[in-house]
A and B are shown apart, each in its own frame.
Chain A
Amino acid sequence: MTDAPRRTALDATHRALGATMTDFAGWDMPLRYSSERDEHVAVRTRAGLFDLSHMGEITVTGPQAADLLDYALVGNIGGVKTGRARYTMICEKEGGILDDLIVYRLADQEYMVVANASNAQVVLDALSARAGGFDAAIRDDRDAYALLAVQGPESPGILKALTDADLDGLKYYAGLPGTVAGVEALIARTGYTGEDGFELFVRPADAVALWEALSAAGKDAGLVPCGLSCRDTLRLEAGMPLYGHELTTATTPFDAGLGRVVKFEKTSNNGDFVGRAALAAAAERAETNPPRKLVGLLAEGRRVPRAGYPVVTADGTVIGEVTSGAPSPTLGKPIAIAYVDAAYATPGTEGVHVDIRGSHEPYEVSALPFYKRQK
């Protein structure tokens, strides 16, 4: 291991486009190419092209691949049909979240687990540690894939021009193997922007050709290259959690308002899975006596809340903490996600402030998400 950040197969492409690069989870990634606000608006109204090759792919195969994932993760993975995907989490025995994941069932006995770049090794280690006794193999496929995402309302039209795959039949959270611009790809209808869109898992050697084909095919529709900065504001508007911010080992899925991902009624392994007892207790606590709840905050002023800033009452009593915050291009005002005491968690609650470097700025408690696309 070296300390130098890793570069994706598209590194030279990003530099030729004049991208501002940033170190993200040990990878040198595009932060933005031009204005992050313009990139954000492009995804909401037209289409954006992302390099997400830093995401960590892990392949699990074998007769007991489903049983292993049912035991290691909190979701009902055996119940995912071939060609479909599931948003799920991997938790500690004590219930804390190790990572949030998307699991694709590629075949009856083959799954691809996609982890956050920052947690890929943690997930790989945890899966390996939990694999004892299962007839299943775990493969580190981080270097086997580049990942490109086309997101936004124009993305189906752009992709259709490059593939014969049945995109109309491809539902949200489904994936199928296909050919895009002559490149073999796993085509998935998933994303992290709150828009319709696709994620394309391809061989790194094919990444540049696919990027160029997508750029050309999307030009007339207004597709632009997009960096991680707008990806963050897009997911924030869509109320999607980010590991390290809303989700940490100190929170359970129930604390994060995502208890629905935990399935206690699993048929495999006699219903046992890592974290079961602690999560059952967390579910009970969230129901009867929640510590803090995850809410949205809408600014009345223009100053931007940032992760870690205290949420306070008018008299300065701390009642919570911001986990993510940014100016919202769609709403035209700053927004935040925060954990606040349950007494202040009802949408519309007034008298809530964020301590922005010593200045108490007024905010309104809002339901999540801030933005939901019209279907």
Chain B
Amino acid sequence: MSNPQQLRYSKEHEWLSGAEEGVSTVGITEHAANALGDVVYVQLPEVGTTVAAGETCGELESTKSVSDLYSPVDGEITEINEDVVNDPSLVNSAPFEGGWLFKVKTSGEPAELLSADEYAAFIQS
């Protein structure tokens, strides 16, 4: 499994893309998707809501478990991935691409995020 180099990662296993006009995309990592198993239900924050780094903003349900979804940054939700709401298996099949979860207009530089290599080391430890 490889974690894309251009993304940054949280210790809660979310990824964050680089900002384009202040808006970043968020998803969960392949490592997290594999640990969950088949994702069957995704609850995402509503567009327009404010999220805070490290706080829960939704949940992911798999066959065996329920996991909270954390935002890796402070900001305001600008878009959610309706495709993944309708077909949660996208989180498993394409966690870094079609399985993205939401877009967030970031307010301030996110702290304590990991590079791809640092995240790879973190999940090995």
Contact = CB atoms under 8 A, between A and B. Distances in A.
Interface residues of A, number: 16
A36 B38 CA distance: 7
Contacts of B61: 303-304, 327
A306 B38 contact: no
A8 interface: no
B66 interface: yes
A282 B37 CA distance: 41
B64 A20 contact: no
B56 to A, nearest CB: 11
A165 interface: no
Nearest to A228: B64
The B interface, classified by DSSP as helix, strand, loop or mixed, is mixed
A147 to B, nearest CB: 22
Most buried by A among B40, B66, B89, B92: B40
A327 B37 contact: no
Interface string B37-78: 110110000000000000000000101101000000000000
Contacts, number: 38
The A interface, classified by DSSP as helix, strand, loop or mixed, is mixed
B41 A302 contact: yes
B40 A327 contact: yes
A189 interface: no
A229 B41 contact: no
Contact of B41 (A31, A32, A36, A304): A304
A326 B41 CA distance: 11
A229 B34 contact: no
A233 interface: yes
A35 interface: yes
Contact of A327 (B35, B63, B92): B63
Contacts of B37: 20, 31-32, 35-36, 229
Interface string A337-369: 000000000000000000001000000000000
Interface of A: 20, 31-32, 35-37, 229, 233, 302-304, 306, 326-327, 334, 357
18 contacts: A20-B34, A20-B37, A32-B37, A35-B37, A35-B38, A36-B38, A229-B63, A233-B63, A302-B40, A302-B41, A303-B41, A304-B61, A306-B66, A326-B63, A327-B41, A327-B63, A334-B40, A357-B66
Interface of B: 34-35, 37-38, 40-41, 61, 63-64, 66, 89, 92
Q: Which 8 pairs between the two chains have the least Cβ-Cβ distance?
A: A327-B40, A37-B38, A302-B41, A304-B61, A36-B63, A35-B38, A36-B37, A36-B38
